[in-house]
Structure 1
Amino acid sequence: MSLPIPGEQVRGSKTGKPIMALLDLLGRTWALGIVWQLSKGNATFRQLQQRCEQISPSLLNTRLKELKVLQLVESTPNGYQLTLTGQGLFSVISPLGEWSLQWASQIKKDDV
């Protein structure tokens, strides 16, 4: 699977609209979870693997490479961390966490 680059064909968009490239990336297994976990602070590979519910090392390695190429994550002497761009992304998606709690509560109330 190729890297979702804005301006290039991605899942859902032949023209690679930036939003579609982002949704392609975040829709990949554990991509969003890694961003979410790194929002809590730096983590070594093993720490991040544990935070991500024991994600396989090969999948974690693949996602970290993708997120690094797309300038959302960087390696530091203290492990991996979000870049400024990654922090900006998290500030946009963070409200979804609160919204999802309200949504889940509503679903339980309605006994769907």
Structure 2
Amino acid sequence: MRRVPSPCAQWGDKDADFIREILDLVGDKWSVLVIGTLSEGAVRYSELAEAIPGISQRMLTLTLKQLQRSGLVDRTAYAEVPPRVEYSLTGLGTSLLSTVLELAAWSADRHAEIRRHQHAYDSRTA
């Protein structure tokens, strides 16, 4: 039997595990949408919630915390009344932005083709 190399074969197991962890984070649909929304600059939580259809308050909060933890998003709280908090991309997050936007554009450009394949597959396997 032929052995097929892993796509992460050039890295050790520890690095490959980390790569999968980061791809899980940045490949998550909510992370992609948050990063894309923050591409225009600092945004308040309520503006993010309005700009991302279908995201729950819990999921937005969780996604922002995960992105902050990985150094992709920055949270700035201002000592004002009422309190104001803004989220923005860090330098690391900005370096990921073009990849995320390319993935989103690829998805949008191929949406109809992918749906056709999905329907054809579902019809064959039903």
Say yes or no: TM over 0.5: yes
Unmatched runs of 5 consecutive residues or more in structure 2: 1-12, 79-84, 121-126
Letter in 1 for 2:96: L
Question: Where is the helix percentage greater, Structure 1 or Structure 2?
Answer: 2
Task: Provide Cα deviations, 1:26-76, integer angstroms capped at 9, x if missing partner.
Answer: 243512211111112211010001111152212111111111110000012
Q: Which residue of 2 aligns with 1:11?
A: none
Distance 1:27 1:101, change over 3 A: closer
Cα RMSD, aligned residues only: 2.6
Distance change >3 Å, CA 15–CA 106, structure 1 → 2: same
Bigger Cα displacement from structure 2, 98-107 vs 74-83: 98-107
Q: How many residue pairs are counted as aligned between the two chains?
A: 99
1:7-39 deviation digits (Å, cap 9, x = unpaired): xxxxxxx73524312211124351221111111
What corresponds to 1:7 in structure 2? none
Cα distance change on mapping 1:41 and 1:15 into 2, 3 Å: same
Percent of aligned pairs with the same amino acid: 29
User: 67-76 vs 29-38, which deviates more?
Assistant: 29-38
